Amino acid sequence: MNKKLVSFHEIPFKFQQLRNLTVDKNINNKLTTENKKYHDLEWNEALPFEFLPGPKPLPIIGNAWRFFPFIGNYYGKNILELHKQLHKEYGNIVILKGIMGRPPFVITFSPEDCEKIFRNEGTRPYRNGIGSLAYYQKVVRKNIYKNNASLAVLQGDEWHKMRAQVNSALMQPRVVARYVNRIENVARDFILKIDFLLKNSKNTDELPDDFLNEIYRWSLETAGEISLDTRLGCLELNVSQNSEVQQIIDAVNDMFDLIFELNILPSMWRQISTPKYKKFVRTMDYLTSICRKYADRAQTKMLGSEHNNDTVPSVLEVLLKVDKVVAIIMAVDILLAGVDTTGKTAAAVMYFLSINQEKQDKLREELIELMPDPNTPLTRQILDKMTYLRGCIKEAQRIASITPGQNRVLPKDITLSGYQIPKNTEVFTGNLLMCNLDENYPKSNQYIPERWLRNSAPELTAKTPHPFVFLPFGHGPRACIGRRFAFCELEVLIATVRCQYIRLPEVELYTEWAILINNG
């Protein structure tokens, strides 16, 4: 019988290992105890939750009346305007009670609070999802979704499992780099569409008033290329009203309104099947069927001789290998989440460049230097050198981010701005307002892409603000899963347009914030 012998000289080493483990364990236990003592002391010294400042609710109607026409002091304000008023009246932290039947929720405008929220969210962060979408996927069409659902709907272990399954398809830089040329082809077709619109315009120097819809079409076409491995045809010069392309465009546009109306505005859909919810179900059914059709087509191609044996598979191919239902869910999510957010951000970048001619000229110089021939195919290596372009995009995101902040439900008791915030409280981080405060970004109302460059002036640099102020794609485990693709789409579009169509507009920027399907 073989026995493992331990030589004499090994014994002190093994004893030292055991002693180190014991010491490490004791240190960890001591640190845990010290942290708990500090937390308890901080909690005991903080003001009670009931003392949080905020507008006082009235009996029965709560604070809902403040959003009513004529009598409400918050009526007609967008989220940034509302946050500015709340910050002015109540400071860095405010509680809103009695808002359309929702439980009380806390809004913080403190970077330190934001950091504390995200540092304590754990590995499975919880945030309130989109009720209408959750009910559709988990109840109405349970037979189709088979206990799966969107990342925006799932929580806890279910969310963690789904996120782990799809991370490799959307988060790897090499996968995103593979799509640069495909995204560029869409951008070049978008330029052809712009030329067509200009030629057919009464004023050849101006694009139509509804040009934002054309940007949405670019965004939707790109989303289809990424999530469905196909060109949908959104940028075709003459699209029939009865075509599949137009129906997809209409369905995606309808979903923006329906999600807002069912989940933010007062609605009885939870009690009865309202006309709006019936339309929501029909629209989701249609989008699901479209994504299923293209998933079936891709699956057949993978099994047949046409399958492309690239070293890096496409997003859809990776997701189909995980699970066909997961592939369909993510395709629907990308169509819904990517179109509105990426489209509006692209419009914001173009707007700020149009009203800041000197910034536009500087960007054009960078683009010409790196791509003297405008027909040069873009690569990830070329994009990585476009530092000023990235600064232009980030600065537009800072001033006019489509996501005004992040929502979380606290997994434990914590203190924020000197107040006790108990476990299970819903909190919202007002990052958009924080990004528009001079205390965080000097001259915050000015469009200064240079603040994002390494050699920027110290008083303007974007490296000095608190790291939890600028979070356009969220933070932590539930950060936007499509953020690499989204930023790449913006880089490619602006680089391809090369500023040649950007002119001073006759309108001011109006940014609309609504409930978003944040793919995290």
* Residue 287, amino acid: L
**Alpha-carbon distances of 370 from 179, 366, 367, 374, 384, rounded to whole Å:** 20, 6, 5, 10, 11
Helices (H), 401-446: 431-435
Burial of 28 (0-12, 13-18, 19+ CB in 10 A): exposed
- Evaluate whether 107 touches 83 at the Cβ level (below 8 Å): yes
**Rg for the chain, CA atoms, rounded:** 26
480 is in an annotated binding site: yes
Single out the residue of 397, 442, 439 nearest to residue 92, CA to CA: 439
What spatial distance separates the first Cα and last Cα of the chain, rounded to whole Å?
Answer: 56
φ/ψ of residue 429, rounded to 5 = -95, 120
How many C-beta neighbours within 10 Å does residue 239 have? 15
Burial of 83 (0-12, 13-18, 19+ CB in 10 A): buried
Q: What is the DSSP string of 80-134?
A: HHHHHHHHHHH-SEEEE-SBTTBPPEEEE--HHHHHHHHHTS-SS-B----HHHH
Largest CA distance in the chain: 96
Distance CA 487, CA 473 (A): 10
| 109 three-state secondary structure | coil
Assign residue 60 a region: left if phi > 0, alpha if psi is -120 to 50, beta otherwise?
left
Helix (H) or strand (E) holding 419: strand 419-421
* Residue 229, amino acid: D
| 409 three-state secondary structure | strand
Q: Per the annotation, where are the binding residues for heme? A: 480
> Which residues fall in the annotated binding site?
480
